[in-house]
């Protein structure tokens, strides 16, 4: 695809941007579609989003924005409206123009994770799930799992306050889900989720002891890069089915594309 | 070229942007070079540049900006420094980052025109030139021609005030150039320049009566689209050598690329 003056823009706003996979992923999809849209990264540092926002509002050929670290919370007061999951999780990852030109946003990180897991053949309704990590990603994922009707959701975080806050959120909004605060012990669960950053850096320990896994369990990790974390590698060695941060990312992209009105998305 | 999160950005800022040729032209050059830079258009309407500027300053992966209509003058107070031609012509078309991250700009429209003319085999030093049109583009072009040492520069504009202002500017800064305020009569000139917008719209009259041209004259037009204006078509029919808005545009791009530090430019 050749970018011309007539090419429409989508942007991912974050810092850093060099490691982001969304631009290549979206642009490959647009090339397959023959769609004259370019997906570019705007590297805006923490603290500079608010003063930068008028440009994105003014930019008439910018049709939507994906927001990533460190702006997922900071963007909220800059938007004209928020979708239900953004209100629930207090963060935004996708923004579109309303017909009046103003921006509205919603959060698809958790639903993207669930979508990636289910498309890989692992439905979550009625399942017993252990999720380790209750930060921003973990909050979005736990809400998506609860909404999808998991039977039992055990959450763990090394920061007790985060763990308690997520439990309170889930119990308020998803009273039918049985929420347990437990240790990161995977024994007896159908699906085990790493929603911590562990695995991003070389030499990281695993958030869950992989020697306690058995081959009938599904192990899911949120880390996109490396795609095969030590946890995923150990789980595969045991014979577990696995889904990775790439599956989650593809789910997020699919749902973001739908929200942005890209109807012929086939990525 | 695939745009990824690591791709560096250059932008052209204007409104409208769909007809602009710079994105396709620069991106084709970057593809030939194997340079991981994307040149995209930011459609910012008149009046929105100042409030948009903090975003462009904050955007760490944005290395330079080309400025076009309607912002060439409005951008001046937003820059940390101006080059000599920008100061002279009171307009800016190219902006780069200084080592401290602040933006500085200069104006290459006029030099781009001269460069296009001279690369087409028509040196201007010592020549007698008629230029019709004393607006922003005409001012930049007349200054570039005067700087290059034309012998005699006759200028015309249907707005007498614009014509007088440009004559005063030229006489102040280029006292060696013989500046004449004259009618748009091409007889006796070596090179005849249309620097008015006439030719942009279908059915426009020509700014210069082409029946007065002779085949030994060079006729240059600034209109990029259509490339062959009625004036250029008539001049070619008579046998005149011609240069077009495309030649000017390629000259502008060459000089902007050099200012932006793109050393392997071969466009």
Q: pLDDT tens digits, residue range B162-182?
A: 999 999 999 999 999 999 999
A55 in any annotated domain: yes
Pair B151, B212 in one domain: yes
Q: pLDDT-based confidence at B145, cuts 50/70/90?
A: very high
Pair A153, A37 in one domain: no
Q: pLDDT-based confidence at B265, cuts 50/70/90?
A: confident
Of B4, B20, B45, the CB nearest to A60: B45
What count of other Cβ atoms lies within 10 Å of the Cβ of residue A160?
Answer: 11
CATH code: domain of residue B231: 3.40.50.720
Q: pLDDT-based confidence at B266, cuts 50/70/90?
A: low
Average pLDDT over every residue of A97-120: 96
Residue A132: name the closest of A222, A70, A247 by CA: A222
Overall domain count for chain A: 2
d(CA A181, CA A131): 10
A2 in any annotated domain: no
Q: What Rg, from alpha-carbon coordinates, does chain B have?
A: 19
CA angle B141, B142, B145 (to 5 degrees): 85
Pair A130, A165 in one domain: yes
Residue B116, both tokens: 């296009």
Pair A88, A118 in one domain: no
Pair A242, A116 in one domain: yes
> Exposed, middle or buried by CB within 10 Å (0-12, 13-18, 19+), for A197?
middle
Pair B97, B39 in one domain: yes
Q: What is the ipTM of this complex?
A: 0.90
Residue B39, both tokens: 């040149």
Pair B131, B103 in one domain: no
d(CA B56, CA B34): 25
Pair B79, B152 in one domain: no
Q: pLDDT-based confidence at B228, cuts 50/70/90?
A: very high
Active site residue A72: yes
Pair A183, A232 in one domain: yes
Q: Helix count (H) and strand count (E) of chain A?
A: 8, 12
What is the tens place of the pLDDT at every residue in B82-96?
999 999 999 999 999
Q: Give Cα B42 to chain centroid, integer Å.
A: 19
Average pLDDT over every residue of A242-257: 95
Q: Which of A107, A131, A166 is the last residue of a domain?
A: A107
A47 in contact with B at a CB cutoff of 8 Å? Answer: no
Q: Which of B107, B124, B145 is the last residue of a domain?
A: B107
B260 in contact with A at a CB cutoff of 8 Å? Answer: no
Look up the domain containing A45 and give its range. Answer: 8-107
Q: Give Cα A148 to chain centroid, integer Å.
A: 16
Residue A265: per-residue pLDDT: 76
d(CA B19, CA B43): 11
Pair A142, A200 in one domain: yes
A20 in any annotated domain: yes
B90 in any annotated domain: yes
Q: What Rg, from alpha-carbon coordinates, does chain A have?
A: 19
CATH code: domain of residue A100: 3.40.50.10860
What is the tens place of the pLDDT at every residue in A216-234?
999 999 998 899 999 999 9
Pair A39, A21 in one domain: yes
Quote the minimal CA–CA distance from B62 to chain A in Å: 8
Helix (H) or strand (E) holding A104: strand A103-106
Q: Find chain A residues with C-beta within 8 A of B39's C-beta.
A: 3
A44 in contact with B at a CB cutoff of 8 Å? Answer: yes
B191 in any annotated domain: yes
Pair B202, B239 in one domain: yes
A194 in any annotated domain: yes
């Amino acid at each position: 695809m050749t970018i011309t003056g007539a090419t429409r823009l989508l942007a991912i706003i974050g810092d850093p941007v060099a490691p982001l996979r969304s631009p290549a992923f979206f642009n490959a999809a647009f090339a397959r579609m023959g769609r004259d849209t370019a997906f570019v990264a705007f590297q805006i540092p923490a603290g500079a989003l608010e003063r930068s926002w008028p440009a994105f509002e003014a930019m008439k050929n910018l049709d939507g924005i994906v927001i990533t670290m460190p702006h997922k919370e900071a963007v909220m007061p800059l938007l004209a409206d928020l979708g239900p999951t953004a209100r629930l999780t207090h963060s935004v990852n996708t923004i579109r123009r309303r017909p009046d030109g103003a921006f509205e946003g919603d959060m698809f990180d958790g639903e993207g994770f669930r979508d990636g897991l289910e498309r890989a053949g692992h439905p979550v309704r009625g399942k017993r799930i252990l999720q380790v990590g209750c930060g921003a990603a973990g909050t979005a994922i736990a809400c998506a799992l609860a909404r999808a009707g998991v039977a039992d959701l055990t959450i763990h975080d090394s920061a007790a306050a985060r763990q308690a806050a997520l439990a309170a959120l889930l119990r308020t909004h998803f009273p039918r889900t049985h929420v347990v605060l437990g240790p990161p012990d995977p024994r007896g669960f159908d699906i085990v989720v790493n929603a911590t950053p562990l695995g991003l850096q070389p030499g990281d320990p695993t958030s869950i002891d992989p020697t306690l896994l058995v081959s009938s369990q599904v192990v899911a990790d949120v880390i996109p890069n490396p795609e095969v974390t030590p946890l995923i590698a150990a789980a595969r060695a045991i014979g577990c089915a696995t889904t990775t941060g790439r599956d989650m990312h593809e789910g997020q992209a699919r749902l973001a594309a739908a929200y942005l009105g890209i109807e012929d998305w086939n990525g």
